Structure 1
């Protein structure tokens, strides 16, 4: 939904994923379906790997998958709400409500009494260019490095505790818990 085939030579094996990146016409068609409400959930196929598995001369030899979990919300907000006018209610359904419902995560997905206090605060219209040193991954590689992203995550709260802020970065102590679905 973000990259198109015309960019693949420039990005190289970092953009190898499955399903593969499509052309602009296919991307536009996918966005039409998303905005029309025909897609229920938006997420990432996050697939990190060491740089040695991506740094190949032949893309067919490279690891398949894009490291992108850190930026899936800010990029999707920029692409959907800011660039395409998606209503915030649809945005929240796609990234929070519908996934929680789909996987029967009864304490997730909504702001309500009895739900977990999980929040992501997004600062709209605040473009920045992603740098490798900003990545919180073990291996600081991503097809998104060098890309201008038009919105910023400024705070993330998990179970009522701030785990990330733009000012201080990650806290390092996470109150999360494994949920078997």
Structure 2
């Protein structure tokens, strides 16, 4: 007698080190029961024949700001995620009403996401500069997947700078929990000095934003954070690295036994500071876009394994926050969670810069490992959550920003031809995107308790 499943998906199953061509993923009760090399006499309530398509583990976007803009929120951001093949969001703690730096606020946000999100989510926490150390063990017990700190003072209330002395104390306390602690690495003094130097060009040349945040402002901050990680033993994660030298420095510290992981973002792989001449404030991001040579170098580092993960740094500001004539008067950041997987596939795999195996490691396996989600997420293996994306590599399409799901209503990739089309997104075996429409509902998503 043959086994009976809730769902069977047949296609080219992409695992962490191999592709099972014309394989089968069998799903029951939201979990992967097993993976078979042929369909044989397997039966299910629903069978999806995804011949010639890739069957991927759902992407995990480890850098999303759902609440930096009050217009976005969990539901809209998670609709974008579902349409983009992202089945788990790791949400940042810098919300418009205020940072998530206490156990009480963390629990409230956790309850909010479970009533509003379509995809699963894990939550990062942060600290208040004046009195946050005692909250670190409490936040860890509530299932925070890590901590995020800024070395640049973006906003004194929502996104404050943590000075170097306090950074050492925080690293020491977080090390006791086993959680990772991540940093926005830009040297505050250098950036503020260079903004004064270049602000006179703000009306004339949007690239002045990039010039006001030089590479060494980033690398000096990264070096400070890594040296503190060396002395405290904490797992340090470096967010949104923009140029190859950063990853060379990371390799050096890893060689000394320091526990460091680091990421880049889709925009640093595909856009340059020259694009600011046409995109203007839509390409204003912190840290800024760099040169074409830097982008090319990042692709090479992706290929050789020097970069741990790729994220979107989804920051969905509405257009009224992006249309000032002076580049310095605009908000920084761009919507990206919906294009993370499509961009990395189309610009990376389809163009031969990385393999499909590289892609699933960068977007699924490694982020799950870094942030304590790997007991449930990140792989197509027996016993894992059935978070699955079907991608047709033969379909191409034109990105239309008006059809994206973010409240931002725009995309830096508007009118870009994309190669590879997502046809299905499943979260724990439930269809949330059917290739045309988001069919998941608010409340379908769950909070994922990090396990380190």
Fold similarity call, TM over 0.5: yes
Q: Counterpart in 1 of 2:308?
A: 40
Partner of 2:317: 49
Q: Which residue of 1 aligns with 2:34?
A: none
Match of 2:284 in 1: 16
Q: Do structure 1's residue 122 and structure 2's residue 420 form an aligned pair? A: no
d(CA) in 1 for partners of 2:388 and 2:325?
A: 41
Give the structure 2 partner of residue 136 of structure 1.
405
Query: Which structure exhibits the higher relative contact order, with contacts defined as CA atoms closer than 8 Å and separated by 6 or more residues?
Result: 2
- Which residue does the alignment assign to 1:111? 380
Residues 302, 354 of structure 2: 8 Å contact kept = no
Structure 2 partner of 1:77: 345
Partner of 1:86: 354
Unaligned runs of 5+ in 2: 1-268
CA drift of 1:180 comes to 4.1
Q: Which moved more, 1:22-31 or 1:136-145?
A: 136-145
Distance 1:122 1:112 in 2: 18
CA distance in 2, matches of 1:59, 1:129: 28
**1:75-105 C-alpha deviation (Å, 9 max, x unpaired):** 1111111113422211111100000011110
Structure 1 spans left out of the alignment, 5+ residues: none
Report the alpha carbon displacement of residue 116 of structure 1 after superposing the two structures with TM: 0.7
Matches of 1:40 and 1:89 in 2, distance apart?
13
- The alpha-carbon deviation at position 52 of structure 1 amounts to 0.9
Partner of 1:147: 416
The normalised TM-score by structure 1 is 0.93
Partner SS state of residue 350, structure 2: helix
Deviation at 1:172, TM superposition (A): 3.9
Task: Say what the alpha-carbon RMSD is for the aligned residues.
Answer: 1.4
Superposed structure 1 runs of 4+ greater than 4 Å apart: none
Tell me the distance in 2 between the aligned counterparts of 1:133 and 1:161. 26
Note if 1:5 corresponds to 2:265. Answer: no
Contact conserved, 2:335 with 2:408, CA < 8 A, in 1?
A: no
Shift of 1:130: 1.0
SS in 2 for 1:84: coil
C-alpha distance in 1 between matches for 2:415 and 2:327: 20
Corresponding position: 1:173 with 2:441: yes
Separation in structure 2 between the aligned mates of residue 139 and residue 45 of structure 1, nearest angstrom: 14
TM-score of the superposed pair, with normalisation by structure 2 = 0.39
Question: Given the superposition, is the C-alpha separation of residues 64 and 160 from structure 1 closer, same or farther in structure 2, using an over 3 Å criterion?
Answer: same
Q: How far apart are residue 132 of structure 1 and its match? A: 2.0
The C-alpha deviation readout for 1:118-153, integer Å capped at 9, x for no partner, is: 011112142221112211112311212222212222
Deviations 1:51-93 (A, max 9, x none): 1111111221111111011011011111111113422211111
- The aligned residue for residue 328 of structure 2 is 60
Kindly indicate which of the two structures has a greater share of residues assigned to strand.
2
CA pair 81-43 structure 1, distance change in 2 beyond 3 A: same
- Number of matched residues? 180
